[in-house]
Amino acid sequence: MMLFGTISQRLCGLQKLPWSCDSRHFWGWLNAVFNKVDHERIRDVGPDRAASEWLLRCGAMVRYQGQERWQKDYNHLPTGPLDKYKIQAIDATDSCIMNIGFDHMETSSICC
């Protein structure tokens, strides 16, 4: 446990990754990891569910068709048939979504 604490303290203090050839900061790299599109996941759970997972993972909120409340918690995503929950609206205020993650939206209902 002590080793993990030492490593995490060192990582948090980094301005950029030591093996990086450019000036990308650690947090920018981490955000890019959160935004990476997983086409296999889209195929497995459907486009709206995968897009919801991506948006919530990045700190955005999602509202589904026929529902009034905003979904904010990744751990409380609704379950059911893959096509039951269609994204109606997105609030990405103060989220870390990046353009590399927009492919999540390509086949989701929000684009239609």
Q: E strand or H helix at 79, and its extent? A: none
Q: Is the pTM of this model over 0.75?
A: no
Report the alpha-carbon distance of residue 14 to residue 36 in Å, rounded: 22
pLDDT at res. 81: 86
Tokens in use for 57?
A: 């993972």
If you average pLDDT over residues 17-30, what whole number do you get? Answer: 59
- Residue 23, pLDDT > 60, answer no
DSSP character at residue 98? -
Report the alpha-carbon distance of residue 85 to residue 83 in Å, rounded: 6
pLDDT at res. 1: 46
Tell me the per-residue pLDDT of 44-83, one tens digit each, with 9 for 90 and over: 988 899 999 999 988 999 999 999 999 999 999 988 887 8
